[in-house]
Amino acid sequence: NGQTFVCACPAETEGIYCPICAKAQEMKDSGDQVKMKQAKDHLKPQVKYLYNVLCYSAPADKKGKTPEFGPVFVMEAGIMVHKALVSLDTDTMTGWVDITNFETGVNVVVKRTGNGLDTKYEVSPTGHGRSNVLADLAARGIDTSKLEPINLDALFSCPPQEKLEEVVAGLQFTGPN
């Protein structure tokens, strides 16, 4: 019906039955080329990763507001950025292992260029080497005892099964198949 429904997937986040995933699988298994394409194009999961970050600098958001330094922010990233961060955090060959340690971690820059299908991300450690974030924050007059990470689990909870069943019951596909 032209509406988009976005939610955390109960199968992925809680390991329980997901009516939307079940419907997508049913359509894929039907052998009907139109249904298979609709499932592929419209009922696809999009994986996102959430991180607590301290933002040293960032471009202004869509409203023109530039984040202030110090508070903990939530950064949402797709699979490309996540893989790059995990690689930095675990690859002993680079020497950057354990980038999230507050006293010996590494400042990371995530740079986005392009739009749509041409979007590219570059994830790289800053040229400053290891960083004692706690000492840096204290030097800037920020009380680190007041920094609280955001409960990321609370940001994305799965809708009730009834809501997901309602979404599946109301599925309508329009446009070219």
Quick: pLDDT tens for 46-86. 788 888 888 776 677 778 777 666 678 888 888 889 999 99
Name the residue among 154, 153, 159, 134 with its Cα closest to residue 144. 134
Quick: pLDDT tens for 108-119. 888 888 888 898
What pLDDT, on a 0 to 100 scale, did the predictor assign at position 126? 79
pTM here?
A: 0.69
Per the CB < 8 A criterion, the answer to whether 72 and 53 are in contact is yes
- Residue 123 has φ and ψ, to the nearest 5°, of -115, 125
Site of tokens 């329980």: 16
Interaxial angle between packed helices 161-169 and 19-29, expressed in degrees from 0 to 180 and rounded to the nearest 10: 40
